[in-house]
Amino acid sequence: MRTDLEWFRTFRAVFETGTMSDAARELNVSQPGVSLHLNALETYVGYPLFERSTRKMIPNERAKLLYQEILHSLSKLEEVENSFRKKARGGRRTLSIGMYPSFYRQFLEPHVPGLGFNLIVHLEHTEGLIPLLANGAVDLAVINREEALRNVVYEPLGTTRHIFVAGAKTDVSAFRALDKSDKRRVVHWMKSQLWYNTADRTSFNYFWKQNFGSEPDFTPNYILPDMYSIIHCLSGHVGMALLPDSLCREAVESGLLTAFWEGYAPMQTSLYTAYRKNSLLQDEIETTVSTLRAELAKFGCTAG
């Protein structure tokens, strides 16, 4: 088992602040992350370092000795680290963000060169972003729901409207001629088509159940990495998909895709920004969020 420098940083923060919550605020990470690091260090050294009470973390004699042993070395190492980072990056701060792959490519990727700070991008869906947000791996996330995470702030960002689209070579005349009150025939026609989707079928399954009263009992013909790939492969060809209007609007307007149905119960998904309270990267977060809001406004996808 190998040690991790972050364990010692966490230990020092707990030793100096006296509580897990204060240490988490100082390190700008989650309290579960602090607990995880401290438990790992105690497992490594082979003995407990604190007496845990309801309000305070009281260091024992072994903790006091360890603190004295690491304090100078840890401080010197951080000085070297900060000096190297400043020289290597010109003093620029680094923001770590997470969002849907297609959302990133549509709304943020074109602005990356002009942001004025360093950027680390994690492309995940909400389920994958929640743990990254909880453990402090991302400073800012765009997700589709609010999760009960300590010291995390949520703000409405906008909404997306999902529609059924077909490739330009798909004959949708039979669907348009259907009596839409006959859901059985509508479902039969839908299931007879070629379908494109991503591995994350959450939106599609929700839409289908909301409109037809059951989970879809068929598998997409093509499971692609993201919605941008779906648009690229489907444009001008045969097949269909459920896509956000803002993402496929350009392809629809150019005639490469046909928007043919919103469903019996149109589906809108709310989007939220999520970031930690009292973040040292607040300026960078506000710049990124403002950029996203401006892009969403172009498609009428505003919050509220």
The Cα 224–Cα 203 span in angstroms is: 15
Q: Mind listing the pLDDT tens digit of every residue in the chain (304 residues)? A: 556 788 898 999 999 999 988 888 888 888 888 999 999 899 988 899 999 887 899 999 999 999 888 887 887 777 666 655 555 555 678 899 999 888 898 899 999 999 989 999 999 888 889 888 887 888 999 998 898 887 889 999 988 889 999 999 999 999 999 999 999 999 999 999 999 999 888 889 999 999 999 999 999 999 998 888 999 999 999 999 999 988 898 899 999 999 999 999 888 888 999 998 878 889 999 999 999 999 888 877 765 4
Please state, in angstroms and as integers, the Cα–Cα distance from residue 35 to each residue in 19, 64, 169, 173, 219, following that order: 11, 19, 57, 60, 42
How many of the other CB atoms lie within 10 Å of CB of 147? 16
Tens digit of pLDDT for each residue in 151-183? 889 999 988 889 999 999 999 999 999 999 999
The Cα 158–Cα 61 span in angstroms is: 53
| Long-range Cβ pairs for the range 221-227 (8 Å, 24+) | 221/194, 221/195, 221/196, 222/194, 222/195, 222/196, 222/197, 223/197, 223/198, 223/199, 224/196, 224/197, 224/198, 225/101, 225/198, 226/100, 226/101, 226/102, 226/105, 226/123, 226/198, 227/101, 227/102, 227/198
Only one residue has tokens 């906008």, namely: 158
Domains of the chain, start order = 5-89 (1.10.10.10), 94-157+269-297 (3.40.190.10), 160-268 (3.40.190.10)
This prediction has a pTM of 0.62
